[in-house]
């Protein structure tokens, strides 16, 4: 795929994607969450770890937009800073498993034979383990921290990407431009990463978008159970966990972090579905 064709492909994809209002809403909400995470120190009215014993469990007001928790900390500030944790885990973890999945999937699809069989069996073995419980077991040994969560999600979530890339390589490796590159003496590394991989990336982008949403849910679930990001670092899951004892008298502790998770995850899923539909040639008019 040359630069002109690539530009045309992404231009058509964007045009198809933009036809849906839901896709546009999801896209702009994602950009908004990026802005919130990036400018958290400017947007947060208080420090997320600042205690105020005179403002314990206060409902939403002009002083505290989303209320305060059982230690007098501002919930709005904690939700804003919590977006940094969720997005960091989501993107770093997905970046790790996209890298692993692309490399192994490309090797399996390009070389075939024993390498394909070996990598395919490895994929099947990893898929057999329930991902969330595998992450819990690993974190029980290495200890909970944001870095461990990123790495563990990354090294356990690559199988879907690997299968997608392998399928695309099996389909593309016999194309004329690949044969031409081989006849000119190009190395396998150049053929794989310069000629075939750019044409196999469309489903990877779609899967990675869904993967960010999945990683955010996993991180929030781990933090809710106490295996995720440790206090006093704010996390959406940790705020929800601390709200369990006050759900009858402090509804805001559950509502606002829950909404943050729901809206963010839904936005990534909407964008993922929109990209999937926009990149499907059968749906393009």
Residue 98 has a pLDDT of 94
Whose CA is closest to 215, among 236, 241, 244?
236
CA atoms lying within 13 Å on the CB side of residue 166: 23
Residue 74 β-bridge partners: 68
Residue 60 phi/psi, 5° resolution? Answer: -55, 135
pLDDT by 10s per residue, the chain, length 285: 544 555 576 678 788 888 889 999 999 999 999 999 999 999 999 999 888 888 889 999 999 999 999 889 999 999 999 999 989 999 999 999 999 999 999 999 999 889 999 999 999 988 888 878 888 888 888 878 888 888 888 888 899 999 999 999 988 888 888 888 888 888 888 888 888 888 888 889 889 999 999 999 998 998 888 888 887 888 999 899 888 888 888 899 999 999 999 999 999 999 999 888 887 655 554
Residue 68 β-bridge partners: 74
Domain ranges of the chain: 82-283
Record the tokens describing residue 225, joined without a space.
């159970």
Residue 1 has a pLDDT of 52
**82-283 — its CATH code?**
1.10.3720.10
Cα–Cα dist 256/59, whole Å: 12
- pTM for this prediction: 0.87
């Amino acid at each position: 795929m040359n630069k002109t064709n690539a530009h045309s492909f992404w231009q058509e994809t964007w045009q198809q994607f933009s036809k849906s209002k839901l896709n546009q809403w999801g896209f702009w909400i994602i950009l908004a969450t990026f802005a919130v995470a990036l400018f958290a120190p400017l947007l947060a009215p208080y420090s997320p770890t600042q205690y105020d014993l005179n403002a314990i469990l206060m409902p939403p007001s002009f002083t505290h937009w989303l209320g305060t928790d059982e230690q007098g900390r501002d919930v709005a500030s904690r939700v804003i800073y919590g977006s940094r944790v969720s997005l960091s885990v989501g993107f770093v973890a997905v970046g790790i498993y996209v890298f692993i999945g692309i490399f192994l999937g490309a090797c399996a699809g390009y070389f075939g034979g024993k390498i394909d069989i070996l990598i395919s069996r490895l994929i099947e073995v990893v898929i057999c383990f329930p991902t969330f419980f595998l992450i819990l077991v690993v974190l029980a040994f290495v200890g909970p921290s944001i870095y461990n969560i990123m790495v563990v999600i990354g090294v356990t979530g690559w199988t879907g990407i690997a299968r997608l890339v392998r399928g695309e390589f099996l389909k593309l490796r016999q194309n004329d431009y690949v044969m031409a590159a081989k006849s000119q003496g190009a190395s396998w590394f150049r053929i794989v990463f310069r000629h075939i991989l750019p044409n196999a990336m469309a489903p990877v982008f779609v899967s990675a978008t869904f993967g960010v949403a999945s990683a955010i849910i996993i991180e929030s679930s781990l933090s809710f159970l106490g295996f995720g990001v440790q206090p006093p670092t704010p996390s959406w899951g940790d705020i929800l966990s601390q709200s369990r004892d006050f759900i009858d008298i402090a509804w805001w502790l559950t509502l606002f972090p829950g909404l943050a998770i729901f809206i963010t995850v839904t936005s990534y899923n909407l964008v993922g579905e929109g990209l999937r539909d926009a990149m499907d040639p059968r749906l393009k008019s």
